[in-house]
C-alpha cells in the first residue's frame, strides 16, 4: 500500500499519457474508458481501499482518497457491498449499519417504514448469499461508463487539462482537450515501484505503453476490451 497520497492518481497519469507531445491535445485511444476503470481499481488497491484475490475484490475499506471520481466509485462499491447486492457477498462489510440501507437520507422515523426497510435489506442479503461473487471483469464494466468524460471534467477542475468548447457549423457542440501548462511534466518521470508497474500494465492494454507483464487488473481490462472487439466484429 502507498504510504503517501501521490501527486497524480493512476487514472490521471493514464490520461496524461494520451497527450500528443506536438499539439498538447488529448488523443484518447479506443477503449480507454475500460483502461481508466482498471486504473481506478489499481488506485484503490494501492491506497488500501480494496484487496484482490482470485480475480475478485476480496475486501473493501470505506476510505476517502481525496480524488472525486475515484471516491465516488469507491462509495458506489461500498454501497453495493453494504446493500448486499448479488455478486458482492465476498466483500460484506462489518460494522456498517445495514438496517436501513437502500433508503436515501436519514433512517425512517415511523416503525412500519423501519420494518419495511429492514425487510428489504434482509431479502437482498439472502439473494447475495446465493449469487456468485463478481469478477474483476464485471467491476471494470461497471466502472467504465462515461469514465473518460468524468475524469476530463475532474482534471479540468484541478487545472490539469483545459477544455476548448465550440460548435461545429454553429450547431453541434464539440470539445477538445489540451494539457494545461506544466501538467504533462507531472506525468514524468514514470512512477516508481508498484505504482509504475500498474501504470505500465494498464497503459499497455490500450497501446499507450509497450506490452508488459500482466497482473489481474490489467488482465481483466484486456478481457473486457477483447470481448467488446468480438461484439463489434
pTM for this structure?
0.77
Does the pLDDT of residue 229 top 60, yes or no? yes
Distance (Å, whole) CA 160 – CA 172:
26
Q: Which residues pair with 60 in a beta bridge?
A: 50
Positive or negative, the CA dihedral 210, 212, 217, 223 is positive
Distance (Å, whole) CA 142 – CA 146:
10
In the block, which residue shows the cell 462499491?
77
Buried/exposed 128-145: b ≥16 CB within 10 Å, e otherwise: beeeebbbbbebbbebbe
Distance (Å, whole) CA 207 – CA 121:
43
Q: Give the C-alpha distances (Å, rounded to integers) separating 65 from 47, 124, 152, 168.
A: 8, 29, 18, 38
What percent of the chain has a predicted confidence (pLDDT) above 70?
70
Give 29-44 pLDDT, tens digit per residue.
Answer: 999 999 999 999 999 9
For 160, how many CA atoms within 13 A lie in the half-sphere containing its CB?
Answer: 23
Check whether the bond before 230 is cis (ω within 30° of 0).
Answer: no
- Tell me, what's the pLDDT at 118? 66
pLDDT band with cut points at 50, 70 and 90 for residue 81: low
Distance (Å, whole) CA 171 – CA 193:
48
Contact 148, 36 (CB under 8 A): yes
DSSP-assigned letters across all residues of the chain = --SS--SS-HHHHHHHTTB-TTT-BB-PPTTHHHHHHHHHHHHHHHTTSEEEETTEEEEE-----S-HHHHHHHHHHHHHHHTT-TT-GGGPPSSS--TTTT--SSPP-SHHHHHHHHHHHHHHHHHHHHSPPPPHHHHHHHHHTTHHHHHHHHHHHTTSEEEEEEEETTTEEEEEEEEPTTHHHHT-SPPPHHHHHHHHHHHHTTTSS------HHHHHHHHHHHHHHHHH-
Give 186-222 pLDDT, tens digit per residue.
Answer: 655 667 788 989 999 999 999 998 887 889 999 999 9
pLDDT band with cut points at 50, 70 and 90 for residue 117: low
Amino acid at each position: 500500500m502507498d504510504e503517501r497520497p501521490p501527486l497524480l492518481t493512476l487514472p490521471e497519469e493514464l490520461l496524461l499519457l494520451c497527450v500528443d507531445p506536438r499539439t498538447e491535445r488529448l488523443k484518447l485511444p479506443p477503449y480507454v474508458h475500460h483502461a481508466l476503470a482498471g486504473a481506478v481499481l489499481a488506485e484503490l488497491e494501492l491506497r488500501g481501499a480494496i484487496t484482490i484475490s482470485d480475480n475478485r475484490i476480496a475486501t473493501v475499506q470505506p476510505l476517502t482518497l481525496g480524488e472525486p471520481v475515484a471516491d465516488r466509485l469507491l462509495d458506489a462499491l461500498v454501497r453495493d457491498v453494504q446493500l448486499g447486492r448479488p455478486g458482492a457477498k465476498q466483500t460484506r462489510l462489518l460494522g456498517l449499519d445495514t438496517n436501513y440501507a437502500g433508503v436515501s437520507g436519514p433512517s425512517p422515523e415511523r416503525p412500519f417504514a423501519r420494518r419495511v426497510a429492514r425487510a428489504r435489506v434482509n431479502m437482498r442479503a439472502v439473494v447475495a448469499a446465493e449469487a456468485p461473487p463478481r469478477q474483476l471483469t464485471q467491476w471494470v464494466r461497471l466502472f467504465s461508463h462515461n469514465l473518460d468524460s468524468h475524469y476530463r471534467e475532474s482534471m479540468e477542475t484541478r487545472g490539469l487539462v483545459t477544455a476548448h468548447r465550440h460548435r461545429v457549423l454553429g450547431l453541434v457542440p464539440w470539445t477538445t482537450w489540451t494539457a494545461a501548462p506544466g501538467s504533462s511534466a507531472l506525468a514524468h518521470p514514470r512512477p516508481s515501484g508498484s505504482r509504475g508497474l500498474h501504470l505500465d500494465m494498464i497503459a499497455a492494454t490500450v497501446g499507450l505503453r509497450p506490452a508488459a507483464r500482466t497482473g489481474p487488473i490489467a488482465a481483466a481490462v484486456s478481457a473486457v476490451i477483447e470481448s467488446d472487439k468480438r461484439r463489434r466484429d
